[in-house]
Chain A
Amino acid sequence: MQRPRTTLKGLPMKRVSLALTLVAATALSVQGVSAQTLKTVQDRGMLSCGVSQGLPGFSSPDDKGNWTGLDVDVCRALAAAVLNDPSKIKFVPLSAKDRFTALQSGEIDVLSRNTTWTVSRDTSLGANFTGVTYYDGQGFMVKKSLKVNSALELNSASVCVQTGTTTEQNLADFFKGNNMKYEVIAFGTIDEAVKAYESGRCDVFTDDASGLYASRLKLANPADHVVLPEIISKEPLGPMVRHGDDQWFDIVKWTLFAMVNAEELGVTQKNVDEMLKSDKPEMKRVLGTDGNLGEQLGLTKDWVVRIVKAVGNYGEAFERNVGTGSPLGIARGINNLWNKGGIQYAPPIR
Chain B
Amino acid sequence: MAAFIVRRIGEGLATILVVALIAFALFRYVGDPVMSIAGPDATQSDRDELREQLGLNDAVPVQFIRFVAHAAQGDFGFSYRSARPVSGLLAERLPATIELVAVGATLSLLLGTGLGIVVALKRKSALARSILTVSLFGVCLPTFVNGIVLIYLFSVTLHWLPSFGRGEVVPVGGWTTGLATWSGLRSLIMPGITLALFQLAMLIRLVSSEMTDVMQTDFIRFCRARGLRRGSILFRHGLRNAMMPVVTVVGLNIGSVIAFSAITETVFQWPGMSLLFIDSVRFGDIPVMAAYLVLVATVFVLINLTVDILYFFIDPRLRLAPATAAAQGPANG
- Chain A bound to chain B: no
Please give the residue numbers on chain B whose beta carbons come within 8 Å of chain A beta carbons, in ascending order: none
Interface residues, chain A, with chain B CB atoms under 8 Å away: none
